Amino acid sequence: MRQILERLEADLDPADPHDVTVLAYGEISAALLVPGLEGRVCKRMSGFADHAMAAQYCELVTDYVAVLRDNGVRVVDTEVVLLDRPSRPPVVYLVQPLVGDLGNQILHTASDAELTGSIHTVLDRVWELHQRTASPEVAIDAQLSNWSFTDPDDPVLLDVGTPFVRVAGRHVFDQEILLSAVPPGIRAYYRRKGTASEYMDDYFEPRLVAVDMLGNFIKEGAVPRLPEGIVAANDWLSAHDLAPIERAQVDDYYKEDAATLELFLRVRRLDRAAKRILRRDYDFILPGRVKR
Ligand SMILES: Nc1ncnc2c1ncn2[C@@H]1O[C@H](COP(=O)(O)OP(=O)(O)OP(=O)(O)O)[C@@H](O)[C@H]1O
Ligand SMILES: [Mg+2]
């Protein structure tokens, strides 16, 4: 597998990938289908300054998955592959089996009772992590599109590429990985404002995780399921002594989230354009227009 990925990297132009199929553009990584690795998904992470930074990221993902599993979250098998490249900084691939029954499909096909069950199950996982007192603090992005529901009572998490891990209140995930994709001036601004860590803090608040999960219904084109989703989330919230969610909050939160992500994408495109003009190497696979 390493050899196949090494060969892929040697030929890949991230600014214009054509030897691979992009299964999905994540906000952070690109999920690729790679010839020779059928039945698997290869998520490509770039933006590391050097080997040490990439190795630290690999360790963080590995530890994160272990803590999640120890605390009742099923996580899809995730192989972490660090590739050193000649005369370029390394990249990391997270390789997973290609699974089905993704939550975003369920969102369109499930009955109201099934949808309610899925929401409760996922929020139970969020709660279990939240209740832990041991260090480190961990959280998850619980959006339904991040889970496979082949077993509806025990879904499997796919999205572990941005580990939500805090030690003594500070994120372990190195924000510079994300910031490396934006132009230097904007990078300094984001760094000063703490934009990325603020963004990641929300995932440690179960109620906001629920709001975000509902907001994702909008992105997935499942607005008709929102009323049922809100009822399900509110049942769960009231059982956990948390304030209920109103539709307007979901809309507002989603709008703001979408604007933040769109801006982040635009500044990355700007950086890509600048690098093209300067004929510099470009190392990120960016989506085209994203429907939000
Ligand atoms: N193992 C897998 N099997 C099948 N599909 C997958 C798998 N992993 C990811 N996907 C698809 O790719 C999408 C993006 O993957 P993932 O959520 O891990 O990336 P991300 O960069 O964290 O994305 P985002 O920030 O948008 O949540 C998933 O929502 C899912 O549709
Ligand atoms: Mg995701």
Give the count of domains, the chain: 1
* Nearest atom in ligand 1 to 162's CA: 22
Residue 282 forms part of a structural domain: no
Instruction: Please report whether residue 284 resides in a domain.
Output: no
What phi and psi values does residue 220 have, to the nearest 5 degrees?
Answer: -85, 5
d(CA 199, CA 12): 31
Give the SS3 label for residue 265: helix
pLDDT tens per residue across all 292 residues of the chain: 999 999 999 988 898 888 889 998 888 889 999 999 999 999 999 999 999 999 999 999 999 999 999 999 999 999 999 999 988 999 999 999 999 999 999 999 999 999 999 999 999 999 999 999 999 999 999 999 999 999 999 999 999 999 999 999 999 999 999 999 999 889 999 999 888 899 999 999 999 999 999 999 999 999 999 999 999 999 999 999 999 999 999 999 999 999 989 999 999 999 999 998 988 889 999 988 788 8
Cβ(261) – ligand 1 distance below 6 Å: no
99 lines ligand 1 (CB under 6 A): yes
Q: Is 102 in the pocket of ligand 1 (CB under 6 A)?
A: yes
CA angle (216 as vertex; 26, 22 as ends), nearest 5: 25
Q: What are the residues whose beta carbon lies below 5 Å from ligand 2 (ion)?
A: 146, 159
Is 134 among the domain residues? yes
Decide if 283 is inside a domain: no
Structural domain of residue 113, as residue ranges?
2-277
**Probe ligand 1: pick from 20, 41, 80, max atoms within 8 Å of CB?**
41
**Ligand 2 centroid to residue 26 C-alpha, Å:** 6
Q: Whose CA is nearest to atom 23 of ligand 1?
A: 26
Residue 288 lies in a domain: no
Q: What value does the CA radius of gyration of the chain take, rounded to a whole number of Å?
A: 19
Q: 159 CA distance to ligand 1 centroid (A)?
A: 6
287 domain-assigned: no
Cβ(162) – ligand 1 distance below 6 Å: yes
- Decide if 68 is inside a domain: yes
| Position in ligand 1 atom list of the atom nearest CA 99 | 3
Q: Take atom 27 of ligand 1 and give the residue whose Cα is closest.
A: 26
Contacts of 263 (CB under 8 A, 6+ apart): none
Closest CA to 57 of 220, 180, 186, 213: 180
pLDDT value of position 19: 80
| Residue among 23, 38, 45, 200 to mutate when testing ligand 1 (max atoms within 8 A of CB) | 23
Distance (Å) from CA 243 to ligand 2 centroid: 26
In a domain, residue 194? The reply is: yes
